[in-house]
Structure 1
Amino acid sequence: MLEANMGFEPDDALDIKFGKMLNYGEVYYPSWTQEAVSILCNLLSLTPPEHHRIPALSQQTLKEKTITILLTMLRALSQQQPMLFIVEDLHWVDPSTLEFLTQFVEQQTTGSILAIFTARPEFDPPWQSARISTLPLAPLSMDEAAQMTFSLSGDITTETLRRIVKRADGIPLFIEEIVKITTLDNQANLPTTLHDLLAARIDNLGSSKVIVQLASIIGREFNLDLLRKISLCNYHTLELHLSTLQDTGLILNINETTKQFKHALIQEAAYQSQTKSVRQTVHQRIAQVLQTDFPDVVTTQPELLAQHFFYGGEIRQSIEYWIKAGQRAARNSANLEAIDHFNSGLQLLMSLPSDPDRDCTEFQILVSLCPVLYATKGYGSEEATQTNARISALSERVDNSSELFLARWALLINTIASVGSYGVTEAAMHLLPMAHDDPLKKQAAHYIIADSAFWVGEFETTHAHTEQAITLYHPEQHQMLQEQFGENLSVSCSAYLSWALYFRGFPDQAKDVCEQMLSHARELAHPHTLALALCFATLLHRWSNKSTETLSLSLETIAISQQHDFSVWLAAGEMAHGWALVLHGHSEIGIAKLQSSITRMKASIGGISVIFLSALIESYIHLELYDKALSLLAEAQADEITTGDSHFTAELHRLKGVCLLGTSESNTKEAEACFSQAIAISRRQSAKFLELRAAISMARLWWHQDKREDARNMLEEIYNTFTEGFDSHDLQEAASLINL
């Protein structure tokens, strides 16, 4: 559409096309920015002059800005005159195109656009809008089929009409095509099925049959330059054949460079009219021509080459391009497409004989698959766990693989998320010597050590290793970190550093690190990294008892997670959102959100269940539902033992004490023991904020027991160790108790 509107010709040089694009923009979009010009150049495979270039954008930012520009252009055109916007066969749509169409449907526009989308019944549209009408297209009735037949030809006998109507089964294409081949001489020998009918139409094309067959192997939409290169016809002869096909109504003209079969069934019939060996040879020829003469297609559509090589019988080359397609999709944050492409490669790979080469390739694909599985299914999901189990089995056979470090790193991440952190920190320490002098792998090793240490309550270790990792980061590493580990590890390490600082009693530093981390993630605009940053910032505000900020950030976390199918961050966002809703008085909705988040958590990251359960426990306590809170506390403490997740052990003891006191005053002694245990554990962990909370609960108990001086002395001792954060909720509560 863009190329046609801008007046591109097939033989235009790139600078001519660029000039036409600028002229088009000046006439129709005078507000185009330099960034918009550069982004359109990328979309149209043009290289802008130096003075029109802008700094490189992340692939996700580029995609988002491209969608925004295309929507703006559609809106501008519709304000000049009413528009008809047609998209066919949505049952075959890819996720990125669906994202564009979803934004188109959901945006508010002042122009006049009639959008018509067609799809088979199995397509489930993701949008809901009062502006949309769904019109199921039932087969034509017998009367309608008869009327259509007569409108196309008045020379058909009554008996032939009856037979056409009966055989058509209400399908307009059948009626249209059968009328074209029906004459007074052959009305007794009509094809019985639509496939037979289309095959007969193709057989009657004469010398043009070969061209329609070649075009069908390219696809329903075919590039004319590619068709010329694979056919044996000269330019003039090919044009005559194409004109014949267009006159017969089998193909349609899209623009100067592209034509399309009128219906997918016509393309399928032309494709099936050839022997398998012929189709295979042509697929091979198409793939080879694409490789040598269409470098842009090789770069931007490796999945197209993968398909042609597959149908051409070149399995190994097909696998190679499926891997490239998966890697490209992952770079562009098209995670669902990446999973599909990698799985297509794996499926083909399993058809090859088992040998060391196959093992190495499978290992490579699975290691590349892990980050996108973590993003969409969850670090501890069943799919991720099964993938890592296979990687572990293969790692014994591919000891010299360059992906071995990535494989062990991915396995440790999955272990923490699926079964817990027992022994992971020690295993993670072995990654440091494996990293050698590679700064990216060093960051990854420090990160996994910090990650595992946090969940077992070793906050000083988390603090030390996150800081070491952050010092190794340079901005130019972002793309490589994203490709190898699925996220920007500088942001991830800053996220854990903010938590470690908070637990250790440095809330102001934690806040500063968190704000810088979130700002960095927004600048990078890598969806998975940003969702991670939003989640960590949300939970930091939750722990700080800032329910309004938690509410806002959790909504943002949920939105980006739903947009990109991030299961873990969606669960965490729902958890924080539910907690904040309860504190804002919306208890029924909040509790439902919390319970939903726990269900999601168990499917995606069950190895760190305590952080989810504790939010619901706190909500029950806020609502004075102490029996429910105690029941859930027992589950959380059992999970601690199973998984080794002890980052909140002290707080769970404190919350149990609060519940016991809320249940009955006779539980005073047991509650005091809980508070004492919480203080002891938090001191061992150097978790000053958890110690402060436990001390506040103990002080309140002692206050009611008339041990006010003991309460004041205990609180003053811990309060005086703080050097910052005196405006925080917990320190202000401690100060008010001290001054009573």
Structure 2
Amino acid sequence: MKGLLKELPIPDSLQALLMERVDRLGPAKNLVQAGAAIGREFSYELLQATVEVPDSELQNALGRFVASGLILQEGEIPLATYHFKHALVQEAAYSTLPKKPRRSLHARIAQTMESRFPERVNIEPELLAYHYEQAELTGQAVEFWHRAACRDAERSANLEALNHFNQALKLLKELPHGEERNVFELELLLARGVPLLSVKGYASDDMEQNYQRAKDLLQEHSSSLHQFLAMRGLWAFHLVRGHLANACGLAENLHALAQREQSADLLIEAHLDLGVTYFFLGRFDEARTHLFAAKSVNDPNQQRSQVFFYGQDPGITARIFLARTLWILGEIEHVESLALEALGLARKLEHPFTLVFALMSLSWIYSTLHNAERTGELTREAIAVSTQHSFELGLAWATSFQGWVLAENGHKEGLGQLLNGLSATQATGASTNNTFTLSLLADIYLREQRIDEGLATIEEALTLAVTGGELFWHAELIRLKGELLLEQSDHSVQAAEECFYEALKIAQNQHAAMLELRAATSMAKLWRKLNKLDDAKHILNALYPRFKECIDNLDLIEAKTVLEQLGT
């Protein structure tokens, strides 16, 4: 809000000097006070429309102001713009206004802007909000702070949007209690959730408080959209915070509401929310069903409106989680094409938070594929966009993956960076998917032969998985535990073998074919060392033929190599 007054402290001696210069203007002082109330900068047209003096008198007064050195003029009347030479001059002129005339003047400025300069009001609604607030016309002030916040959110100016939403909510408390105020507060909270998610992350305490208050404000006659958005905000919080049982209940309620309303827009998000929840719970077949449904119902031409409601595009998110799900289920031929389609749509959408989410999700996929080069390209871009737009969680995720890339390329500082990213992620309140990050960390410890640290990391991840129900990576965590035990000592061979058995059983129960293949490959390599060659051949021959040939899939390449070494 360029030029609006900010209650500057002025030394008494300097204030007295400045006020003396203002007082010398005589009757014209009222005009300079009006200009000061408008702002550090004001136009001739707005001042003329606000004050009730003849043009000749106004022009003479402005000429005196310019000659006095108090203000500077740009352009010619009637298109002239005036600037106070210093903010202290503006404050001195403004401070001479008594409180009641000051309120009246701000009200007149606001009403003049609204009636005579609607284009400027549309561009800068915060100007009107400020003047209505100073006029103590609270209802109008809240309305225009809301408009300013929505405009900011639309252009991804999330910090500014939060500031304006917070100002609207603060002023709203001054309005009389009642249904009208409650409805307005509900609308403000639901809209505020979008920039709040972007800046603070899904699992921040602010997110829970925002959406819990919104839920508390719902009434029997609240619209289905308001009910859906309040519940969906709480779903996102509980999901990423690691409360998967709560998230599952909310996702099922969202799906039931969308089914009742038979709204395509709500069904896309409801299918997505159920699919994502089932994915993290390790219920991959159900996840695939709902993610396919979300993708099928999605209309890419309506992306922008959906982003404004949810903070990121549901169609793009559905494609990303579908790619992750299909990889785990072993349908690997569709994974990269889906992921690249999602990234292409995110770039076309030009919505920074959706882009960062797509970049980080592809980093999960490519790190799973052991592709450090591609993961590095994605994380560098995610760090740049997250830094530019103050996305705390996006930056934390990207930092973790960049650390993994550095470690994969033999740089010792990579481990520390991965730990820093994980710590920053946890600081946002985010827990879900940390089991995956911890598995990357444990794998680094395994390669560096830091076995005790690796085992401690796996135990931390398993605690998260079991207590929170985040079972999508459970089989891989158990397999990695077996690999670490093998390196610990010869006495741990039986314990490692038991881990591989358990990983196989978990993966089979989840129909997680790729994780089953990884566990089977680890088991076959162990049995080869123990000279159980027939068992090793059998376990891999039972799995490997299920997969289509894929020349760049390192898991399939490793399984094939082990089979060849076994003489199959």
TM category, shorter: over 0.9
1:3-31 CA-partner distances (Å, limit 9, x unpaired): xxxxxxxxxxxxxxxxxxxxxxxxxxxxx
- Is 1:584 the counterpart of 2:375? The answer is no
More divergent stretch after superposition (634-643 vs 666-675): 634-643
Alignment of 1:142-157 (within 5 A): none
- Is 1:601 the counterpart of 2:425? The answer is yes
- Is 1:241 the counterpart of 2:61? The answer is yes
SS of match in other structure, 1:490: helix
More divergent stretch after superposition (645-654 vs 520-529): 520-529
Q: Is the 8 A contact 1:506 1:725 kept in 2?
A: no
TM-score calculated relative to the size of structure 1: 0.73
Superposition deviation, residue 356 in structure 1? 2.2
1:404-446 CA-partner distances (Å, limit 9, x unpaired): 2111011101111123212423431222342223222111111
- Greater relative contact order (Cα 8 A, min sep 6): structure 1 or 2? 2
Aligned to 1:378: 201
Q: What is the rounded CA distance, in whole Å, between the counterparts of 2:3 and 2:262 in structure 1?
A: 51
Aligned to 2:315: 490
Q: What is the rounded CA distance, in whole Å, between the counterparts of 1:399 and 1:322 in structure 2?
A: 23
Superposition deviation, residue 393 in structure 1? 2.5
Q: Is the 8 A contact 1:650 1:677 kept in 2?
A: yes
Superposition deviation, residue 350 in structure 1? 1.7
Superposition deviation, residue 385 in structure 1? 2.1
Superposition deviation, residue 726 in structure 1? 4.7
Q: What is the rounded CA distance, in whole Å, between the counterparts of 2:29 and 2:198 in structure 1?
A: 48
Pairing partner for 2:328 from 495, 503, 526:
503
Aligned to 1:63: none
Aligned to 2:304: 479
- Is 1:532 the counterpart of 2:352? The answer is no
Q: Is the 8 A contact 2:284 2:510 kept in 1?
A: yes
Superposition deviation, residue 91 in structure 1? 13
Corresponding letter in the other structure for 1:380: A
Alignment of 1:605-684 (within 5 A): 605-684=430-509
- Is 1:360 the counterpart of 2:183? The answer is yes
Alignment of 1:62-101 (within 5 A): none
Q: What is the rounded CA distance, in whole Å, between the counterparts of 2:510 and 2:356 in structure 1?
A: 29
SS of match in other structure, 2:245: coil
Q: Is the 8 A contact 1:660 1:667 kept in 2?
A: yes
Superposition deviation, residue 626 in structure 1? 1.0
Corresponding letter in the other structure for 1:517: A
Q: What is the rounded CA distance, in whole Å, between the counterparts of 1:334 and 1:666 in structure 2?
A: 58
Q: What is the rounded CA distance, in whole Å, between the counterparts of 2:498 and 2:331 in structure 1?
A: 27
1:538-572 CA-partner distances (Å, limit 9, x unpaired): 11000001111112211111111111111222111
Q: What is the rounded CA distance, in whole Å, between the counterparts of 2:68 and 2:220 in structure 1?
A: 59
Corresponding letter in the other structure for 2:517: L
Pairing partner for 1:208 from 18, 28, 39:
28
Aligned to 1:231: 51
Pairing partner for 1:389 from 205, 212, 226:
212
Q: Is the 8 A contact 1:360 1:401 kept in 2?
A: no
Q: Is the 8 A contact 2:231 2:250 kept in 1?
A: no
Corresponding letter in the other structure for 2:34: L
Percentage identity across aligned positions? 33
Corresponding letter in the other structure for 2:419: Q
SS of match in other structure, 1:222: strand
Aligned to 1:444: 269
SS of match in other structure, 1:585: coil
Q: What is the rounded CA distance, in whole Å, between the counterparts of 1:342 and 1:613 in structure 2?
A: 37
Q: Is the 8 A contact 1:331 1:482 kept in 2?
A: no
Aligned to 1:351: 174
Q: Is the 8 A contact 1:252 1:261 kept in 2?
A: yes
Corresponding letter in the other structure for 2:421: S
Q: Is the 8 A contact 1:359 1:397 kept in 2?
A: no
Q: Is the 8 A contact 2:400 2:422 kept in 1?
A: yes
Q: Is the 8 A contact 1:498 1:509 kept in 2?
A: yes
Pairing partner for 1:311 from 112, 134, 140:
134
Alignment of 1:407-486 (within 5 A): 407-435=230-258, 436-486=261-311
SS of match in other structure, 2:83: strand
Q: What is the rounded CA distance, in whole Å, between the counterparts of 1:359 and 1:447 in structure 2?
A: 30
Q: What is the rounded CA distance, in whole Å, between the counterparts of 1:617 and 1:372 in structure 2?
A: 34
Aligned to 1:297: 120
Corresponding letter in the other structure for 1:598: L
1:451/1:245 CA distance change after superposition, 3 Å: same
1:280/1:428 CA distance change after superposition, 3 Å: same
Aligned to 1:575: 400
Corresponding letter in the other structure for 2:84: F
Superposition deviation, residue 387 in structure 1? 1.7
Q: What is the rounded CA distance, in whole Å, between the counterparts of 1:585 and 1:387 in structure 2?
A: 44
More divergent stretch after superposition (340-349 vs 456-465): 456-465
Q: What is the rounded CA distance, in whole Å, between the counterparts of 1:335 and 1:428 in structure 2?
A: 26
Q: Is the 8 A contact 2:304 2:349 kept in 1?
A: no
1:450/1:287 CA distance change after superposition, 3 Å: same
Q: What is the rounded CA distance, in whole Å, between the counterparts of 2:391 and 2:500 in structure 1?
A: 38
Alignment of 1:75-154 (within 5 A): none
SS of match in other structure, 1:253: strand
- Is 1:519 the counterpart of 2:344? The answer is yes
Superposition deviation, residue 291 in structure 1? 1.2
Q: Is the 8 A contact 2:5 2:91 kept in 1?
A: no
SS of match in other structure, 1:260: strand
Superposition deviation, residue 196 in structure 1? 1.6
Superposition deviation, residue 352 in structure 1? 2.5
Aligned to 1:149: none
Superposition deviation, residue 601 in structure 1? 1.2
Alignment of 1:16-31 (within 5 A): none
Q: Is the 8 A contact 1:251 1:260 kept in 2?
A: yes
1:212-254 CA-partner distances (Å, limit 9, x unpaired): 0110110011121111100111222211110000000010013
SS of match in other structure, 1:586: coil
1:642-693 CA-partner distances (Å, limit 9, x unpaired): 3211111000000100111110111111111111111111111111111111
Q: Is the 8 A contact 1:416 1:608 kept in 2?
A: no
1:507-526 CA-partner distances (Å, limit 9, x unpaired): 22101101111111112121
Corresponding letter in the other structure for 1:207: P
Q: What is the rounded CA distance, in whole Å, between the counterparts of 2:131 and 2:4 in structure 1?
A: 22
Aligned to 1:545: 370
1:292-336 CA-partner distances (Å, limit 9, x unpaired): 111212211111111111111110111111111111100000000
SS of match in other structure, 1:422: helix
Q: What is the rounded CA distance, in whole Å, between the counterparts of 1:392 and 1:618 in structure 2?
A: 42
Q: What is the rounded CA distance, in whole Å, between the counterparts of 1:287 and 1:733 in structure 2?
A: 71
Q: What is the rounded CA distance, in whole Å, between the counterparts of 2:367 and 2:506 in structure 1?
A: 22
Corresponding letter in the other structure for 1:244: R
Superposition deviation, residue 344 in structure 1? 0.3
Aligned to 1:251: 71
Q: Is the 8 A contact 1:578 1:592 kept in 2?
A: yes
